[in-house]
Amino acid sequence: MPNSTSSESHSRDLVDVVLIGGGIMSATLGTFLSQLEPDWKIELFERLDSVAQESSNGWNNAGTGHSALAEMNYTPEKSNGEIDITKAIRIDEQFQLSRQFWAYLVRSGLISEPSSFINSVPHVSFVWGEKNVEFLRKRYEALIQSPLFEAMEYSEDHDTIKNWIPLVMQGRDPSQPVAATRMALGTDVNFGALTRQMVQLLLQHENFKLSVGYEVCELNRVEQGWEVTVAERNNKQNRRTVYAKHVFIGAGGASLKLLQKSGIPQARQYGGFPVGGQFLVTENPELVSQHQAKVYGKAAVGAPPMSVPHLDTRVIDGKQLLLFGPFASFSSKFLKSGSLWDLFGSLNLSNLRPMVQVGLHNFDLVKYLIGQLCQSSDARYQALQEFFPQAKEDDWKLWQAGQRVQIIKKEPGKSGELRFGTELICDEQGSLSALLGASPGASTSAAIMLQLLERCFADEFSSERWQKQIKTMIPSYGVSLNNNAQLNEHELQLTGQILQLTHQFDGKEIQNAIKTWQEIVQMADSLSLEEHS
């Protein structure tokens, strides 16, 4: 073990779990563990001065609340012309797990004022042109076969669509073929606000400690877990050493470099390429009041999923505004507040070749990124006007969003492969885990952290005590909502009431909804037993 210098702190603490990165993933995992094992010691390290300042921050995302209700990239068209809805079903079910978890926190009095982080905003898919209209029609016909999407509305009528999304239809050529689907039960989620509330909840536990302004310098495996050495960001000589039975790396774009520091064999499979984002934003109350939806279009050829264009109603820190984007940008930083050396520092002999292979095999993506980098201000507003024909440049300003690191993975015997979505990496002992990737990310945070608990805390996870508590927090866990329409309907209604979502809330007292929570748990338990038998 490295010796501390004379100017270092000699504090050496033993904890059960170290969380690296103060975003939605660490906050979710910490909250789960605090409910499952209140006596465990947990410490969270965040390099900035407060939590939720990078990817989880509302201003660093061009759209949140991904639940596959409108994102067309989750429903690809197969070579035979059929629409594959497998991914959409999986993501929507995962989002419902998050929604149930948040409802549990609210109904238990652990988090107050759900409108501070979640609000009802319909999700709309919108296309123009005959080929795209045909695709959306087929997508709609495929999705409504699932109980998860049976409430979806579809129209090719200009007046109907104008009623749904007025700004998008104002000034549009009445002869242009258009189509839209609408899901009224969509939501907008401010993950920054949610993260801060969960961390405040954790701070009420005497066994939880938050250390801000600290960066992880070293990760060394020891007999009982990991030796984690951290340094004060503004005073590198001030160091601490913490011994942890388990380490979770949930540091957004910085997770790759920290995973590499751990030295676990799995880290050698991964490389990463940073993709920044920009979006146009308006706070003009006249425009904001006319648009109450998240409107998703189709991605450009070669564009990564995180670049699907959309015009979104957002509620950030109590203020409603409109965002359009994202537009890709490039920086070699892995975090918005990172270093220009991040990309180069992540390159090594195991991932350099796969990254070159990905560049050679994904020419459409390279072409798209180059085109985005060369995009002028006029081109960005032309893209906005495809969604909002009467948009005026003076109403909008350009905002630099956060950084995402696109995963590049090298499987044995294969060339490098570009991976979209999120990927959970665990060592063989289950003592270290890390999360890489981007969208849908935060929206499926509960599902991802449940996977982590199952893989890294297998004995505890399979215990009757943990299983009972998990079902109390997330009643439908382990049951397919897609295969159980009644449970899905009851769960949506109940969580809608508790979270005070306007599309669900029917004026009943919240206390009445709380009384039915146990009924949902019992229904899900019964279905789970039937499925396993």
| Inside any domain, residue 155 | no
Is it the case that residue 514 has pLDDT exceeding 60? no
Q: Which residue has the higher pLDDT, 334 or 388?
A: 388
Average pLDDT over residues 374-379: 81
Contacts of 411 (CB under 8 A, 6+ apart): 269, 417
Percent of the chain with pLDDT over 70: 90
**pLDDT score, position 257:** 92
**pLDDT score, position 114:** 95
**pLDDT score, position 4:** 37
The H or E element containing residue 249 is strand 235-249
Q: Which residue has the higher pLDDT, 270 or 122?
A: 122
Average pLDDT over residues 5-14: 53
Q: How confident is the model at residue 7 (pLDDT cuts 50, 70, 90)?
A: very low
Highest mean pLDDT among 34-38, 252-256, 508-512: 34-38
What is the Cβ-side half-sphere exposure of residue 483, based on CA atoms within 13 angstroms? 11
Q: Which residue has the higher pLDDT, 427 or 413?
A: 427
**pLDDT score, position 302:** 57
**pLDDT score, position 85:** 98
Average pLDDT over residues 264-293: 90
**pLDDT score, position 307:** 65
| Inside any domain, residue 330 | yes
What 3-state class would DSSP assign to 286? Answer: helix
B/e letters for 213-240, b = 16+ CB within 10 Å, e = fewer, are bbbbebbebeeebbbbbbbbeeeeeebb
Question: For the segment 308-363, what is each residue's pLDDT rounded down to a tens digit?
Answer: 889 999 998 889 999 998 887 888 887 888 888 888 888 887 877 777 777 777 76
Please state the φ and ψ torsions of residue 307, each to the nearest 5 degrees: -105, 15
Average pLDDT over residues 217-237: 93
Q: Return the biggest CA–CA distance within the chain.
A: 77
Is it the case that residue 492 has pLDDT exceeding 70? yes
Please state the φ and ψ torsions of residue 447, each to the nearest 5 degrees: -65, -40
Q: Which of 204-218, 272-286, 413-427 has the lowest mean pLDDT?
A: 413-427
| Inside any domain, residue 342 | yes
Between the CA of residue 185 and those of 188, 310, 502, what are the distances in Å? 10, 18, 9
Tally of domains within the chain: 1
Is it the case that residue 111 has pLDDT exceeding 60? yes
| Inside any domain, residue 96 | no
Q: Which of 62-76, 167-181, 221-235 has the lowest mean pLDDT?
A: 62-76
**pLDDT score, position 509:** 53
Q: Which residue has the higher pLDDT, 405 or 265?
A: 265
The tokens 């999407």 sit on which residue?
149
Is it the case that residue 10 has pLDDT exceeding 50? no
CA–CA dist 327, 306 (Å, integer): 10
Q: Which of 53-57, 211-215, 294-298, 527-531 has the lowest mean pLDDT?
A: 527-531
Q: How confident is the model at residue 3 (pLDDT cuts 50, 70, 90)?
A: very low
**pLDDT score, position 515:** 54
Q: Which residue has the higher pLDDT, 518 or 19?
A: 19
Average pLDDT over residues 451-479: 96
Residue 299 in contact with residue 305, Cβ under 8 Å? yes
Tokens of 516: 């039915």
**pLDDT score, position 284:** 96
Domain that holds residue 318: 272-415
Question: For the segment 79-103, what is each residue's pLDDT rounded down to a tens digit?
Answer: 999 999 999 999 999 999 999 999 9
**pLDDT score, position 9:** 41
- One DSSP character per residue, 414-458 reads S-EEEE-SEEEEE-TTSSEEEEEE-TTGGGGHHHHHHHHHHHHSH
Show contacts of 212-216: CB within 8 Å, 24+ apart.
Answer: 212/22, 212/46, 212/48, 212/49, 212/50, 212/51, 213/46, 213/47, 213/48, 213/49, 214/45, 214/46, 214/47, 214/240, 215/45, 215/47, 216/20, 216/45, 216/258, 216/261
| Inside any domain, residue 215 | no
**pLDDT score, position 195:** 96
| Inside any domain, residue 465 | no
Residue 281 in contact with residue 323, Cβ under 8 Å? yes
What does the mean pLDDT of the chain come to?
Answer: 88
**pLDDT score, position 276:** 80
Between the CA of residue 29 and those of 71, 108, 429, what are the distances in Å? 27, 18, 18
**pLDDT score, position 516:** 78
**pLDDT score, position 64:** 74
Q: Which of 221-230, 304-313, 518-527 has the lowest mean pLDDT?
A: 304-313
Pairing, β 397-410 against β 208-212: unpaired
**pLDDT score, position 305:** 59
| Inside any domain, residue 294 | yes
Q: Model pTM? A: 0.91
Residue 54 in contact with residue 441, Cβ under 8 Å? no
| Inside any domain, residue 61 | no
Is it the case that residue 190 has pLDDT exceeding 80? yes
- One DSSP character per residue, 459-486 reads HHHHSHHHHHHHHHH-TTTTS-GGG-HH
What ranges in 209-284 are assigned the alpha helix state H?
255-262
Closest of 320, 281, 296, 310 to residue 120, by C-alpha: 320
Is it the case that residue 20 has pLDDT exceeding 70? yes
